[in-house]
Amino acid sequence: MRVSEQPLITAEAIAARVEELGRELTVRYTGKRPLLLAVLKGASLFVADLARSLPMELELDFVQARSYAGTRSTGSVALSRAEDLEVTARHVIVVEDIVDTGRTVEALLERLRGLDPASLALCALLDKPSRRVVPVQPDYTGFSIDDHFVVGYGLDCDGLHRNLPAIHVMEQ
Ligand code: 5GP
């Protein structure tokens, strides 16, 4: 497997879309002091840029979810730090790198719903709707993509390539 030479989504396109998402979120969340809850590790770069595109007061926290080994879904999801999350009565925006089958984020959303947030929204940089197994739909999506395994801008393949500034496809 190797990283495609040409990006699927350029760093410039990502930056422009993150700014747009920031504007959409600003309309809904100004004055609500939202909690951005980013899913480690993949959403770390996205949330760093997204948070800086939001001019209002907000809080930032992280949760870890693991469902993948290499490029294949394991079908099971482990959440860590979920017990420590203070989300009751908060306006929570879950920030994900990518929604694929939907299992990971649905497990997290279900956990959060049980903690009675004032509101709960999902903001995903990438969406692969053709791969969905669980019916979950992001409220805010950066880009919808076809069924590729992608890396860069926080997304990895076995721990590597998170630092690429653009999104690339892993090729055989
Ligand atoms: P799901 O539970 O929706 O199938 O998978 C979500 C998680 O799987 C994502 O948060 C991400 O960590 C990983 N994942 C799914 N598709 C991709 C992909 O194309 N590239 C990378 N690097 N990770 C992916």
Question: Does residue 82 carry a pLDDT above 70?
Answer: no
90 C-alpha to center of ligand 1: Å? 27
Question: Percent of the chain beyond pLDDT 90?
Answer: 85
Is the CB of residue 65 less than 8 Å from the CB of residue 107?
yes
Q: State the fold for domain 2-171.
A: Rossmann fold (3.40.50)
Please report the atom of ligand 1 found closest to the CA of residue 151. Answer: 22
Per-residue CA distances from 3 to 62, 63, 150 (Å)? 28, 28, 9
Asked if omega into 32 is within 30° of 0 (cis), the reply is: no
156 C-alpha to center of ligand 1: Å? 9
Residues contacting residue 52 through CB under 8 Å, at least 6 positions apart: none
- Helix, strand, or coil (residue 5): coil
Is the CB of residue 43 less than 8 Å from the CB of residue 95?
yes
The residue ranges of every structural domain in the chain are 2-171
Question: Does residue 71 carry a pLDDT above 80?
Answer: no
Confidence of residue 67 (pLDDT cuts 50, 70, 90): low
Counting ligand 1 atoms within 8 A of each CB, the residue from 41, 99, 104 with the most, and so the one to mutate, is 104
Mean pLDDT of 18-44: 97
How far, rounded to the nearest angstrom, does the alpha carbon of residue 150 sit from its chain's CA centroid? 13
pTM (two decimals): 0.94
Residue nearest (by alpha carbon) to ligand 1 atom 4: 101
- Rounded mean pLDDT of the chain? 93
